[in-house]
Amino acid sequence: MDNMIFASVRQVASTWYYITLTQNRAHDDAVDVGMMQAELYLSDLGLVGDAARPYLEGARKAIASVMQGKLQN
């Protein structure tokens, strides 16, 4: 179950990051939106505060990898 949460929160964050970029918003805005959506998703699962921290770190790494992929294309 833990791996499913990691995978889904990374997907939520990176998808919202990319969606926000396609709306011609700045990188920082896109990161904020992606992370906010990841936090909301985790909150719905009952994971907040310290319990959410490892998942949010994974979400931040997923956003960074999307950004690197976008820059390489």
- Average pLDDT score over residue span 2-13: 94
- Average pLDDT score over residue span 49-53: 97
Chain segment 10-28, per-residue pLDDT in tens: 999 999 999 999 999 999 9
* pTM for the predicted model, two decimal places: 0.86
Q: What's the number of domains the chain is made of?
A: 1
Taking the CB of residue 11, how many other CB atoms lie within 10 A of it? 14
In 3D, which of 38, 44, 47, 50 has the Cα closest to residue 8? 38
- Average pLDDT score over residue span 56-65: 92
9 occurs within a structural domain: no
38 occurs within a structural domain: yes
pLDDT for residue 71 is more than 80: no
Segments forming the whole domain that contains residue 44: 24-73
